[in-house]
A and B are shown apart, each in its own frame.
Chain A
Amino acid sequence: MEASEMSEDILMSLLDNLPGPFASPMLQPPAESAELAAILCGMIALYAVIRIIFEPDVMRKLPFLNVFSFSIAGIMALMIPHPLGVIAAAAYFIGSTFESNAIASTWAGGVEP
C-alpha cells in the first residue's frame, strides 16, 4: 500500500512538472471571451458533423464539411494568440478547401485537359 501511494505521488508530481504550451513567457493564455468563442465554435463543429452523417446526397455533404472547416480553423486561431496560430489556421483552411474542391471535381468527372 505504501509503495502504490508513493508511485501515485511520483506520477502526480511528474504530471505537474511537465510544461504546457503556455509555460513560456512569450505567450499568455487566451482570455475569457476567447474560451467562450472556442466552445461555441466546437458546438457548431459537432452540429456540422452530425449533419454530414445524416445527409443522403454526397455532393450536399460538402457545404457542411465547409462549415466544419470554418469552425476548426476558428478554434485553432483562438487557442494560440501568436502569429504562428494564424499561419496554422490559414494552412488548415486552405488545405481543407483544396481537398473539397478535389473531391467535388473528381465526382463530377474530372477537369478536362
Chain B
Amino acid sequence: MISLILQIGFAALCAWVLFITIDMIWALPREGGVVGAKAIAAAVEKAGGDLRGGTMMGNIVSSPDASAGTLLAACGVYCFGIPGGLLATVLVYIGNRICSDPGYAGTTGCFLATFMVYGGTKIGIPAEFFIIGMVIAILTIQGISHRHASRLLGKIWRLRK
C-alpha cells in the first residue's frame, strides 16, 4: 500500500518536472499565441494571479502541449510499448496542427516522455502509474487554485529568463 503511494508519487513528480521544463523551454508563458489563451490569462489575472502564469495555463487549455504529450505518451507505452509512444507523438503533432498552434511543444514533450515512461517500466513502475501521475500533476497546476499555481509558474518563468 505504501509502496503504491510512493510509486504513484514518484511518477507524478517525474511527469510534473518533465512537462514544466519542456513548456518553459518552448516559452509558453511568453505571449498569447491563440486568442483563447489570452482570454483565460486575463480572467486568471483578474482573480489575483500572475499574467505569465495565466498565459501558460491558457496555452495548456487551448492546444496540446507537453502535458498532453506526456499523458498520451504514457497511454501509448501502456497499450503498445515504444511504438505506441511514437504513434502518440504523431497524433499529438496532428492535434497541434488542427488547433492551429505553430509550435512543437507537444511533439517534443511526447517524444521525450515516451522514453521516460519506458525507462520507468524498466525500473519497476508500471506505465499506468505514469498515466495517473500525469493526471495528478495537471490537477495540481490547473485544478486546485489558479491564483497560487499561476504565481508559481510566473516565478519559474522569471527564473528562466
Asked whether any CB of A lies within 8 Å of a CB of B in the complex, the reply is: yes
Query: Which residues of A are in contact with B by a Cβ distance under 8 Å?
Result: 31, 33-34, 36-37, 40-41, 44, 47-48, 51, 57, 59-60, 62-67, 70-71, 73-74, 77-78, 80-83, 85-87, 89-91, 93-94, 97-98, 100-105, 107-111
- Inter-chain contact B79/A83, CB cutoff 8 Å: yes
Residues of A within 8 A of B129 (CB): 33, 37
Residues of B within 8 A of A98 (CB): 95, 98-99
Distance between Cα atoms of A103 and B36 in the complex (Å) = 8
- Inter-chain contact B39/A105, CB cutoff 8 Å: yes
* Residue from A65, A80, A109 within 8 A of B79 (CB atoms): A80
- Inter-chain contact A104/B68, CB cutoff 8 Å: no
A-B contact count (CB 8 A): 171
- Inter-chain contact B71/A86, CB cutoff 8 Å: no
* Residue from A47, A60, A66, A97 within 8 A of B99 (CB atoms): A97
Distance between Cα atoms of A101 and B94 in the complex (Å) = 16
Residues of B within 8 A of A81 (CB): 78-79
